[in-house]
Amino acid sequence: MSTVPEIKHWPVGDLVRSIVVPIISFILFFVWIYVLVESPLPKILIFPSISIVIVLFYFFSGYVFAGILLCFISIVAVLAQFITPYELSRMLFIVQAVVLWSIFLCIDRYRIFGKNQFDHSAEEIEELESKIAFMENSAMETRHACDDFKQRISNYQLLGRMIEKFGVSLNKEKIIALVVEMAEKIIRRGEWTVIQGVQKDIFARWIKDHGIPLVIANIAYDSRFYVQQSVGASLVALPLNVDGHYWGILKGTAEEADVFSENDVRLLSLLGGIASQMLSNSRLYQISLDLAITDELTGLFVQSYFKERLHGEILRSKNSLFSLSAAIIDVDNFKTFNDTYGHAGGDVVLRHIAVLIRERLRETDFVCRYGGEEFAVIMVQTCRDDAIAIIEKVRHAVEIEQFFLPMEGFKPEFVNITVSAGVAVLSDAINGAEDLIGAADAALYRAKANGRNRVEIYE
C-alpha cells in the first residue's frame, strides 16, 4: 500500500521572503539594466538606484540573496568598463560598485554584530531563566522544608500536650485512649488501636518475638504473614514496653498500600516511648494503691479502705432501702496463742483464717483485716437472720479446721482455733458507719463474755 507524501505547509512570511521578494527583486534588477542601457539619462546617475533594491532585498530575504544580486551588479560595473567611452565614468562605476559593497558589508557587519548581541542576550536570558528556575526550585524546596519543619513542630507540640495530659491521669484506660488519639493526630492517616498482650494478633506476636517496629507496604504480598480476614492493605506497629518487658503494641492500618513511612515510625517511636513510660507509671501507681489498701500479711483490705467502703454502702442502702449488715470477727485467746507459738505461728493462723473467711463469704460481701487479730465484714442486701447464718458458717469453718504450724527445730504441730463474732444491722437507731461498727463491736464483746466461739447479734 502506497503512502501519501506529507505536504509541507510553508508560513506566508517565509513564502514571501523566499520566493516572491527574490522574483520581484530580479525583475527590478533586469528593469534596472534595461533603464541603464536604454535611458538617455547619464548612466552614472542610474547606477546607484539599484542600492535601494539591494537594501530592501537584504532586509526582506537575507544577505545571501542580496549578496548574489550585488555580485550581478558588480559584473555590470565591470562590463561597463568596456562599453563606457569616458575614463571618469568607468572609474565612477567602479567606485559606485565599491560603495555598494561597502554598504552591504557594513550592513552585514551590523547584522552579525546584532546577531551576536542577540545570541549573547539570549544566552544571558537563558542563564537568567535557568537561575530563576533554580531559585524557584530552591524556594519550593525551602517551602517544603518549612512545611515539614512546621509539621514537626506541630507534632512535637502535640506530644508536649500529650505529656501534659498524661501527667494528670494515671488510669490505664485513659492513657490508652490518649495514645490512640495522639497517633491519629500525628500521623493523620489510618485507623489506630492499642493491643495489650498478644490477643491472637499475628502482628503483636511477631513484634513480641522480634522486639522491633513493623512496617508493611502491602500485607497481601508479605510472605511473613498469612491473614484470612481483611486487615487493610498497609500496616505499621511498634512495641509498647513496661519496665523493660513487652506489654503490647500500638497498631495502625489503612486500606490503601504504601501509606506509612519510616518517618511515621520515628514519630510513633517517640509517642510509644512516652506511652510506655506512662503505662509503667500507671502500673506503679496501681501497685501503690493496692499496697495502700491491702494488708500485706493476709491480702485483705485494710481498715481505712473498709471504712471508706462502708460509708458508700450505707448511702446506697439508704437510697435503695435494702438491708445492710456488718460483722466483726476476733480470734479467741490470740495473745496466749502468740505467747505459746510465737508471732510466726500467729501469722500462719491469721493468713489461714483470712482464706477461710473469703471462701465462706459471697461475692458481694466485703472483708478486711480490721486490726491485729480482728476481721470486719460488710454484707450488702443482707437482713439480720442471713447475716447471722453467713457469719456462723465462718465460725464453724474455723472451729473444725486444723491449723498446721511448721515449727522450726521442732516437730510440726496441728492446733485448733476458734473465733467469736458480733453482727449488727443498719436501722433507724444505727444509721451511720461509726454506729454500725460500734454496734458490731458491742455484740462481739458480748460473745466474748458469753464464753467465746459464738456469734452474737446487736439487739
Tens-digit pLDDT profile for residues 24-71: 666 666 666 666 666 565 655 555 666 666 666 565 556 666 666 667
Block residue for cell numbers 557594513? 106
Kindly state the DSSP code that residue 20 receives in the 8-state scheme.
I
Element (H, E) at 453: none
- pLDDT above 60 (res 233): yes
Give the pLDDT band of residue 2 (cuts 50, 70, 90): very low
Determine if the pTM surpasses 0.75.
Answer: no
The answer to whether the beta carbons of residues 382 and 390 sit under 8 Å apart is yes
Between residues 227 and 345, the one the model is more confident about: 345
Tens-digit pLDDT profile for residues 124-136: 888 898 889 888 8
Mean of pLDDT values over 71-82: 66
According to the model, what pLDDT value does residue 56 have? 60
Give the pLDDT band of residue 89 (cuts 50, 70, 90): low
Kindly state the DSSP code that residue 376 receives in the 8-state scheme.
E
Give the pLDDT band of residue 275 (cuts 50, 70, 90): confident
The answer to whether the beta carbons of residues 391 and 423 sit under 8 Å apart is yes
Kindly state the DSSP code that residue 295 receives in the 8-state scheme.
-
In order of 94, 148, 207, 247, 272, the CA distances from 152 in angstroms are: 84, 6, 27, 28, 17
Backbone region of residue 408 per phi and psi (left: phi > 0; alpha: psi in -120 to 50; beta: other values) = beta
Could you tell me what percent of the chain has a pLDDT over 70?
Answer: 72
Domains of the chain by start residue, with CATH: 12-114 (no CATH), 172-292 (3.30.450.40), 303-457 (3.30.70.270)
Give the pLDDT band of residue 4 (cuts 50, 70, 90): very low
According to the model, what pLDDT value does residue 142 have? 85
Tens-digit pLDDT profile for residues 143-185: 888 887 777 777 667 666 666 665 556 788 888 888 898 888 8
Between residues 102 and 333, the one the model is more confident about: 333
- pLDDT above 80 (res 319): yes
- pLDDT above 60 (res 410): no
Mean of pLDDT values over 238-248: 90
- pLDDT above 60 (res 21): yes
Mean per-residue pLDDT over the chain, rounded: 81
Between residues 267 and 194, the one the model is more confident about: 194
Select which of 136, 173, 373, 401 is catalytic. Answer: 373
Could you tell me what percent of the chain has a pLDDT over 90?
Answer: 32
3-class DSSP state of 403:
strand
Q: Is 373 a catalytic residue?
A: yes
- pLDDT above 80 (res 316): yes
Instruction: Give me the DSSP letters along 217-261.
Output: S-GGG-TT---SS---SEEEEEEEEETTEEEEEEEEEESSSS---
Element (H, E) at 6: none
According to the model, what pLDDT value does residue 279 have? 84
According to the model, what pLDDT value does residue 92 have? 66
- pLDDT above 80 (res 343): yes
Q: Biggest alpha carbon distance in the chain?
A: 175
Distance CA 115, CA 65 (A): 18
According to the model, what pLDDT value does residue 224 have? 85
Tens-digit pLDDT profile for residues 93-121: 677 667 667 766 776 677 777 778 888 88
Q: Give the other-Cβ count within 10 Å of 298's Cβ.
A: 21
Tens-digit pLDDT profile for residues 346-388: 999 999 999 999 999 998 899 999 989 999 999 999 999 999 9
Between residues 50 and 399, the one the model is more confident about: 399
Q: Please choose, from the candidates 360, 369, 377, 174, the residue with its C-alpha nearest in 3D space to the C-alpha of residue 281.
A: 174
Give the pLDDT band of residue 336 (cuts 50, 70, 90): very high
